[in-house]
Amino acid sequence: MGDYKRHFLLLGLPATGKTSFLAALYYYLTSNLPDRKFIEYKKSANTAYLNKIMNLWSKCEEIDRTVTQIDSSNKEVLLHLEDVDTKTRFELQVPDIAGEHFVAQFTNRLWEKEYKHEVEKASGIALFLNPSKIRNHVLLDDTQIDDDDFEEVEELEPFKIEEVPTQIMLVDILNYHYVHQNKSPIPLSLVISAWDEVESENIAPLDWLQYNLPLLYQYLISNPEKFTLRVFGVSAQGGKIKDDDLEKERLASMDEPGERFIVRDGNNINKNICAPLQWLIAQ
């Protein structure tokens, strides 16, 4: 029996789907879904919180920031998981850090000591990004002002570092994680959340990353000594629950909430919400 523990971190900027994924994952672990890959071998100290977000997820309710605040006595969500096939045990560790804190790490160039310790002991990373929350780059042509229009520009807005393109921020954050980790290369599951909004494009997740975030793609592909990469498309809800009452009603009426899962790994589409973690632990 592989009774040893490994730690994995879930990272992501604001509103990238980490909490919805965690809620769906907890449902997967605690329900009787067929062919489960992982089970919870020991109750988490954060069970009350996990049950709260899982119940909201199962009802297709949005999980707002007030709900996701973990009691100050618990600095992180910690899940004790076991691989059903290999009996390997590992810990999924989600530090009590909102996406805004990762933005602050980028803008202020500072890390908290406690978080640095979490990074140092991590065996791998799951990085989440949301296609609808990406701040795109600006082309040079977009910054040019014709002489005829110059007089109409009353005041140019000052540069704000927190508004740099998403892929620049993510490359910087990942590089900091690499510098402070003891494992090289670092296994990285990149999870493109809200995949139901991309699914109609019939594109593999890695190809989507290359087309939409070329800088991030090039950084990861060109530095195999830093990261080993696998890209997944994941929809924890299976559809849009905000501003679409009919879709929300359809999803909420499904007899088995686990049927809402959408996971794309390369050209393979399945309902294994654990796939990003399964790949990490196999590295």
Judge whether 1 lies within some domain.
no
- Is residue 267 one of the residues assigned to a domain? yes
Lowest-confidence pick of 52-61, 155-164, 173-182, 241-250: 155-164
Q: Determine what percent of the chain is predicted with pLDDT higher than 70.
A: 85
Q: What is the domain range of residue 263?
A: 7-282
Backbone angles phi, psi at 189, to 5 degrees: -90, 115
Are 108 and 161 a contacting pair, CB within 8 Å?
Answer: no
Predicted confidence at residue 201, as pLDDT, reads 79
Cα 127 to Cα 125: distance, rounded to the nearest angstrom = 6
Tally the domains of the chain.
Answer: 1
CATH code assigned at 68: 3.40.50.300
Q: What confidence score (pLDDT) does residue 155 get?
A: 67
The answer to the question of residue 113 being in a domain is: yes
Please determine, for residue 264, whether its predicted confidence score (pLDDT) is greater than 90.
yes
pLDDT at 61 over 60: yes
Q: Is residue 2, in this structure, part of any structural domain at all? A: no
- Whether the pLDDT of residue 70 is over 80: the answer is no
Q: Mean pLDDT across the stretch 157-173?
A: 85
Asked whether residue 243 is assigned to any structural domain, the reply reads yes
Q: Residue 81: inside a domain, yes or no?
A: yes
pLDDT tens column, 90-136: 888 776 455 666 777 777 777 777 777 778 888 899 999 999 888 88
- The verdict on residue 16 lying in a domain is yes
pLDDT of residue 73: 37
- In-domain check, residue 137: yes
Per residue in 211-246, pLDDT (tens digit) is: 999 999 999 999 999 999 999 999 998 888 877 778
User: In this model, does residue 15 exceed pLDDT 90?
Assistant: no
Mean pLDDT of the chain: 83
